[in-house]
Amino acid sequence: MKLQSIKLIAVLLILVTSCNSNKKENTNTTVDSKKVTDAHNSEIKLDWPGTYTGTIPCADCEGIQKTITINKDKTFIATDTYLGKEDAERISKGIFKWSEDGRIIVLSDANRTSFLVTENIITQLDKSGNKITGKMAKKYILKKQNTTIVTTPFTKTKWRLVELVGKKVENTDAYIFFSEEENRVYGNGSCNNFNGRFETLNGYKINISNVSGTLKACTDMSTEKTFFSILETVDNYAIKGDKMTLNRAKMTPLAVFEAVK
């Protein structure tokens, strides 16, 4: 009888030990799986905010030079420059979302462009969200820039005119200033002072109106006449670093400015 009791206790001890071992093994498996998931999560593991550039293939131009800045608050600004075309530059901005596994970002642009995010690189994916393969695969890689581009504020900055309708403007006092106070715009056309109103719309759209200037006569007023004539025709602006452009639609910039420091 005692022998049977001892055998029964031994069996029970073996079963309890086996159960505890299985529980530990299952727990370890779960932890290891979570570590693997986190290790491949670019959103969590990588220092991904920054500016990325590269030139991707283009069906009807020499290539598309892409510059994309992705920010920690999940906003982005993207510039596509179509090399060898008149309608050269397209700018988009908005927000982006991460995929569930934290490896891919999807922009809120018209094409819902997606990128695989890895260390200091983002790789543009195809329309189905798959990695592009073959000889052209490397051409869809955008590399992170080492230097941070600080964008100058649109308002509260004195912008000096340096190019007008594709021609350099030199030795002139022409400038423009956008004030948040009552949305006033003012400046100098190279001879006369001027002022007016402006309104910024969605994205980088702008409307400049009610422009009027002083009536001083100068020897050469060609720059001023052209400058004043385009102010109320532009409908969007762009800023890159310390340069600002006033544009109409997607045409070549009508006026280029540099920030006065």
Q: Where are the domains of the chain?
A: 50-144, 158-259
What's the CATH code, domain 50-144? 2.40.128.640
Hey, do 50-144 and 158-259 end up sharing a CATH topology, with the first three levels equal? yes
The third-level CATH classification (topology) of the domain covering 158-259 is Lipocalin (2.40.128)
Residues paired with residue 67 on neighbouring β-strands, in sequence order: 53, 79
The tens-digit pLDDT sequence of the chain (261 residues) is 454 555 555 545 555 455 554 444 444 444 444 444 455 789 998 999 999 999 999 888 888 999 999 999 999 999 988 887 766 788 899 999 999 999 999 999 988 999 999 999 999 999 999 999 998 899 999 999 875 556 789 999 999 999 999 999 988 899 999 999 999 999 999 999 999 999 998 778 999 999 999 999 999 999 999 999 999 899 999 888 899 999 998 788 999 999 998
